[in-house]
């Protein structure tokens, strides 16, 4: 049965107004509005629906499904809302039901880790610094540097997806759904800043699960959590000298895989730099262009290990890309954008050639195939 809500989702994902889509499909805006407000019912004529499908580059079957995930936007943490246009926000929000369907498809075939997060939102005595320290202890991290934030989140049951090109203004966002936490990360930022975004969204998930995750105060709390989680107090104090130079911090930041600006701020928060010294470091940092380009930056971006292993397992079973996309009823570029531009959606999956070399890398212990 035709589902008009899916038409709206596809249009918003493409960043198109009703008029733009109507013009592209050769129909009137009024006719398109009628289709979008129809609910469940008789679909548009086959020729008209085909034109809409082509204009959106979405398969026709996408519009014929009962499952539409209702999204409560009050539970989504967006950063810099004042800078986010309605079109960009709608595109970002519309990515959620698509990602949830991909996640459901994966969960039906694999046993993913159960969420293992603390809830500090009800603890009036919990501050970001102590909450970050407590969570590190509970996860057995101690004072060690975190090698990969995305893999760590997934290990503890957080579903991590990437954001598409039409969401460049969205830093990252997170939310809970049915007691399962989700994080969406922008892949257009430096690897260091993406790591901080991941820790920032973790902060929202544990600090604001049952409280407001909007506004300046919530953002500051999430920033402080991320800083403390990535750069533990004792480790930084032991390694960083008082009143450090920018050159010293450029060398030291590699230890925690953070941006130079994040480490400069952490030094100030921990009293390793006076307010005057912090201001001077910030001026020097900006003057050298280090807010836009990272000195001695990380070469590789962190991506989802769960998605990678799931797709590798599918590839080993010689399932074609077209068959996979047909099961999902999604266009290739959308799946690619939400799965960290996985190479499997840029080229055909391996064929059923029996002489193809076998992959030696196993599925990680926390990701197991569901027996069917």
- For 170-309, strand residue ranges (E) read 172-177, 180-185
Does the pLDDT of residue 367 top 90, yes or no?
Answer: no
Q: Is residue 182 part of a domain?
A: yes
Q: Judge if 8 and 89 occupy the same domain.
A: no
Is 292 a domain residue?
no
- Quick one: pLDDT at residue 11? 96
Q: Are residues 281 and 184 in the same domain?
A: no
Work out the burial of residue 196: count CB atoms within 10 Å of its CB; fewer than 13 is exposed, 13-18 middle, 19 or more buried: buried
Report in angstroms the alpha-carbon separations of 247 from 243, 260, 277, 288, 296. Answer: 12, 10, 14, 12, 11
> Comparing 152 with 72, which gets the higher pLDDT?
152
- The stretch 309-338 carries a mean pLDDT of 89
Q: What is the pLDDT of residues 232-284, one digit of tens each?
A: 999 999 999 999 999 999 999 999 999 999 999 999 999 999 999 999 999 99
Gap between the Cα atoms of 310 and 125, Å rounded: 40
Do residues 212 and 320 share a domain? yes
Question: pTM of the full predicted structure?
Answer: 0.89
Q: What is the mean pLDDT of residues 326-338?
A: 93
Residue 102 exposed, middle or buried by CB count within 10 Å (0-12, 13-18, 19+): buried
Q: Tens digits of per-residue pLDDT, 15-67?
A: 999 999 999 999 999 999 999 988 877 888 999 999 999 999 999 999 998 76
- The answer to whether residue 294 sits within a structural domain is no
Same domain, 334 and 255: no
| Same domain as 92, residue 73 | yes
Quickly state the pLDDT bin for 314 (edges 50, 70, 90): confident
- What is the helix (H) or strand (E) element at residue 337, kind and residue range? helix 332-338
Q: Is the same domain home to 173 and 104?
A: yes
Question: What local confidence, expressed as pLDDT, does residue 42 receive?
Answer: 80
Domain span holding position 252: 234-287
Pairing of strands 180-185, 77-78: unpaired
Answer yes or no: do 53 and 74 share one domain. Answer: no
Domain count, the chain: 3
């Amino acid at each position: 049965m035709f589902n008009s809500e899916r038409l709206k989702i596809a249009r918003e994902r493409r960043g198109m107004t009703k008029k733009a889509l109507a013009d592209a499909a050769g129909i009137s805006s009024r006719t398109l509005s009628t289709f979008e407000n129809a609910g469940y019912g008789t679909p548009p004529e086959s020729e008209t629906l085909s034109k809409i499908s082509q204009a959106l580059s979405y398969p026709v079957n996408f519009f014929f499904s009962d499952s539409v995930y209702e999204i409560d936007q009050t539970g989504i943490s967006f950063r810099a809302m004042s800078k986010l246009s309605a079109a960009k926000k709608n595109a970002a929000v519309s990515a959620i039901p698509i990602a949830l369907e991909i996640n459901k498809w994966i969960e039906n075939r694999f046993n993913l880790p159960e969420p293992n997060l603390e809830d500090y939102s009800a603890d009036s005595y919990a501050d970001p610094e102590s909450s970050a320290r407590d969570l590190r202890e509970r996860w057995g991290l101690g004072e060690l540097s975190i090698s990969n934030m995305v893999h760590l989140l997934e290990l503890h049951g957080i579903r991590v997806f990437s954001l598409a090109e039409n969401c460049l203004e969205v830093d990252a966002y997170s939310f809970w759904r049915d007691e399962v936490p989700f994080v969406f990360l922008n892949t257009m930022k430096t690897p260091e800043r993406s790591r901080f975004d991941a820790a920032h969204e973790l902060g929202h998930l544990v600090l604001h699960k049952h409280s407001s995750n909007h506004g300046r105060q919530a953002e500051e709390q999430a920033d402080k959590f991320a800083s403390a989680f990535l750069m533990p107090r004792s480790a930084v104090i032991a390694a960083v000298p008082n009143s450090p130079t920018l050159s010293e911090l450029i060398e030291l930041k590699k230890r925690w895989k953070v941006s130079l600006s994040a480490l400069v701020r952490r030094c100030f928060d921990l009293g390793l730099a006076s307010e005057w010294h912090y201001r001077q470091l910030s001026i020097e940092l900006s003057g050298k262009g280090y807010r836009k380009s990272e000195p001695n930056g990380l070469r590789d971006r962190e991506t989802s290990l769960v998605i990678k292993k799931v797709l590798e397992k599918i590839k080993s079973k010689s399932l074609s890309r077209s068959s996979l996309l047909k099961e999902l009823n999604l266009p290739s570029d959308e799946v690619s954008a939400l799965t960290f531009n996985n190479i499997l959606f840029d080229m055909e999956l391996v064929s059923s050639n029996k002489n193809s070399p076998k992959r030696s890398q196993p599925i990680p212990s926390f990701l197991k195939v569901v027996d069917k």
